[in-house]
Structures are given as C-alpha cells and as structure tokens.
A = this chain, B = another copy of it.
C-alpha cells in the first residue's frame, strides 16, 4: 500500500509520501515515492506515486528521459495544466505497453499526485488517475491524497485551509502520515516531506525521515498528548455536575500521559 498527500496553500505547496512497497505481505521493500523535476530558477515539479511499482518507475524514467531530449517534456511545457496532461498521457501509455506484453490480465494501474509552479504562474496540484485524466484541488478542498487515504483524512478536513502557513501545514501532513502508519502496516517509513515556497523555483526544503528519526517520533508523541488535552476541552455531559466530576476524578484518576 501507499499513502501520499499534497496541499496547495497561499504560501506554496507541501508534499508528503511514505516509502513502503509490497508485492504480497511477505515481500516488503522501501522505495521513495517522491520525485522532483526542477529547473532551477524557472520551474518546480514534484510527482508522488501510488500503484504498480513497475509502472510508476517506468513513468518516472520516461519523464526524466524526455527532459534530456528535444520533444515535449516537463522542461518544455508552458503551463502546469499542460504538464499534468503530459504526465497523464505517459501514465496511460506505459500501462498500455505493459498490458500488451502481458499474457494474463494483471493490474498495471498507477495513480499520481503532480504539482508545481512555472515562473509567472501560480502553483497548482493535481491528482492523475490510471486512465490518464486528472483533477485539481479547490479552495474548499485544498489537499489531495492517494493510496490509503482514510485514516489520515479527518485531521486534514478539520485543519487544512489555504491560509495555513507552510510549516504548520507540513506538521499537519506528518500527523496525517503518522496516523496512517499506526493503523496500516503497509504504509511505512522513511517519510519524504517537501516544502515548496511559492515563487522560489528551487528544489524546495526536503526532509527524509527514517523510522528512528527523533523529530518524527516527537511529532507522534506530542500529537497523542495534544489529543488527550483536546479531549479534556470537550463539553461535559449534563449529568457531570461539578460535584460528580470531582467524585469520578477521585475514584478513577485520568492519566494525562497514558
């Protein structure tokens, strides 16, 4: 399985991805699912991948190779929309080639999040379907997810808005990833995190966080403690009068760090 997400904020873009791949539960590997295609000073693109590993590797390879050739590529496209359309074409093409070679009916599907900025234009993010078509985020839904999306969605639904600054949004992405890793063993570290600041046109701030990374562990630990604090702020039931609450607290003390 896989979990990748991206956010479009007023300040720029945040991308986050896990690295676990598996062909059956007894064949687990680690591959980065984050791929950057930047031209320093003029354009930044990041691709996050989910699905068939051979397909995603072939797509990434073709995107990179095309950038060194004279034909259309991420170096030549004139808008992010044109770029994602090109990625969709490559995705569909690779799958068709693999299906034609295959005697069985294997699932070669791959899904991508693709985003970036070209100088003079605004940053954008898209989700590319296996069919080669794509959707973009919206003001009301400023994030996109692929793979195992459910466990990590509630925190995004409640907190992410375009006004959120890049660092807070990035911490929110790490929390979403941490929640997903706790619940689904096929999503796992290292975690790749990329923070791209609007109009900078560099490769972005990139963090590669392994399982034992102290920062990643601190995020998970602090978040659990924060949730317990948040639970304390919720309204009490009508029968929990001040007197009752004290009595209950006395008999069953709530461990603040459990």
Contacts and interface: CB of A to CB of B under 8 A. Distances in A.
B157 A183 contact: yes
Interface string A135-168: 0000000000000001111110111010111011
A219 B92 CA distance: 45
A168 B231 CA distance: 7
Copies assembled = 2
Interface string A219-258: 1001111111111011111111000000010001011001
A255 B163 contact: yes
Contacts of A164: 254
B159 A227 contact: yes
Contact of A151 (B11, B151, B215, B258): B151
Main secondary structure of the interface of A (DSSP, over half): helix
A234 B227 CA distance: 11
29 contacts: A150-B183, A151-B153, A151-B154, A152-B154, A153-B183, A154-B154, A154-B180, A154-B182, A155-B227, A158-B179, A159-B227, A159-B231, A163-B255, A165-B248, A167-B236, A168-B231, A171-B234, A172-B231, A205-B237, A207-B237, A215-B237, A218-B234, A222-B230, A222-B235, A226-B226, A226-B230, A226-B234, A227-B227, A230-B230
Interface of A: 10-11, 150-155, 157-159, 161, 163-165, 167-168, 170-172, 175, 179-180, 182-183, 205, 207, 215, 218-219, 222-231, 233-240, 248, 252, 254-255, 258
